Structure 1
Amino acid sequence: MASLKLSPSPPVSIPKRNGGFVGRRRISLVVRSEQAPHFSASDVLQDKCSRRQIMSFGVIAPCISLLSEAQPSFAAETKKGFIAVYDKKDGYSFLYPFGWQEVAIAGQDKVFKDVIEPLESVSVNLFPTNKQTIKEFGPPQQVAETLIKKVLAPMNQKTNLIEASEHDVDGKTYYQFEFTAQARNYTRHALSAITVSDGKFYTLTTGANERRWEKMKERLHAVVDSFKIS
């Protein structure tokens, strides 16, 4: 089984950090506006088609065609009660619950969280890797256990892997897993999705306080299931 090493040349082990990911990207304090707006692509197209400049059917027809093509693909990426994030630079997208706020955290590529319940959050991070697929790191359970202990939870917390699975989307393999991390005063129940693409090891992790898991689990599953690499 290949060891879990994420840098391209020479490979090094996943960096450790008590409390979360360790990254090399400098985080800007300016919130990036790459998340999807609160209107759909079809709204924009309809607005363009209704402008006074459209004077003939020969101009209207292409707009109708664009609308029919845009609606099915966009509908698959949106969900009521969620906001979509599209990171064109790093080539990934996901959903997060409406009301969460974006925050800047050193070492993390993107983070959204609930300001009242801080354990309710989603974070995305990237590491360089010379692997071509997530399968090269090993089976889902083994990779999940390594990530949880070395990256996703502080070293002083007791962790438990509940389940791990593998699935393919558009020819790309993703691992998903569920785990808990127990601190002295709380337990966080979390879900993660990981994959490899174009020399990058992607991780998305979302979760909530164990006491709110039953209330939040459907929304958190929607978040982790929405994670896609373009």
Structure 2
Amino acid sequence: MAMSSVSLNWVPATLTKKSNVPHSNELARATALSLHNSVACPKETTSNEENNCKRRLLLLGVGAVTASLLPATSLLAEEIPPNYQAFVDISDGYSYYYPSDWREFDFRGHDSAFKDTFLQLQNVRVRFIPTDKKDIHDLGPIEEVVYNLVNHIYAAPNQMVNILDMQERTTDGKNYYTFEYTLASPNYASTSFATIAIGNGRYYTLVVGALERRWRRVRNKLKVVADSFKVLDI
């Protein structure tokens, strides 16, 4: 299998698909590309692996261009809160903040995910599915949407549900529902925030949560993550 490669002048590691954006001012200084660095896909890859590698290389290039245009992207033009990093997926059209001491991991069926280094059930994950809806309001009023999601999608048959709060916001002309809920099983209980939005022909869902016994200590920290979720135009 032939090697696929892309030559890049300057590639900010902070703007790959799995990005860690430490500070907008730092990124704003990166404005030029260098043609001397080469990033390549290994020869020993399957067809799917090669396609994934090519996609990541493309994202690297797009990320470099985006960094040179700062503060054109609204998320990156903002001041990232202390002790958080920004994840920006230019290809799939979304972004959010996550605690800077969390690490990336694979969460089945999700596009991105980060978790606490020591407490694996304390994590954030994002997924999306195709939709013909244009806006989150097309799903119905927030009370009806949240009730159906938590009770019929998020909860397992043996779990008790408690919806604690729900909020609606509009950011950059896009509407979001964010809600807080607890799922209790016989063995343990977890509490989470979920933020849902529609854009780019996709229905996005971000969920960030922790064990219920730790919720009072981490609630405000995780609310920052839930409120930071944005859909980007692609």
TM-score by length of 2: 0.70
Q: Which residue in 2 is equivalent to 1:167?
A: 169
Percent identical residues:
34
Q: Which moved more, 1:137-146 or 1:149-158?
A: 149-158
CA distance 1:215–1:90, shift in 2 (3 Å): same
Query: RMSD over aligned Cα, in angstroms?
Result: 2.7
1:57-81 Cα offsets, whole Å, 9 max, x none, are: xxxxxxxxx99967x9635251111
Q: Which residue in 1 is equivalent to 2:206?
A: 204
What's the secondary structure of 1:216's corresponding residue?
helix
Q: Which residue in 2 is equivalent to 1:225?
A: 227
CA distance 1:184–1:91, shift in 2 (3 Å): same
Aligned AA (2:174): K
Q: Which residue in 2 is equivalent to 1:27?
A: none
Q: Which residue in 2 is equivalent to 1:155?
A: 157
1:117-175 Cα offsets, whole Å, 9 max, x none, are: 22211110101111111111111111111111233232321111112221111111111
The alignment status of 1:42 with 2:44, answered yes or no, reads no
CA distance in 2, matches of 1:74, 1:33: 14
Misfit runs of 4+, over 6 Å: none
CA distance in 2, matches of 1:222, 1:115: 18
TM-score by length of 1: 0.71
Which 5+ residue runs of structure 1 have no aligned equivalent? 1-31, 50-65
Offset of 1:33 from its aligned partner? Answer: 4.2
Match for 1:80 among 77, 82, 92?
Answer: 82
CA distance in 2, matches of 1:184, 1:38: 40
Aligned AA (2:89): D
Whether the 8 Å contact between 2:161 and 2:181 is mirrored in structure 1 is yes
Whether the 8 Å contact between 2:102 and 2:117 is mirrored in structure 1 is yes
Greater RCO between the two (CA within 8 Å, min separation 6)? Answer: 1
Q: Which residue in 2 is equivalent to 1:127?
A: 129
Q: Which residue in 2 is equivalent to 1:189?
A: 191
What's the secondary structure of 2:219's corresponding residue?
helix
CA distance in 2, matches of 1:112, 1:73: 19
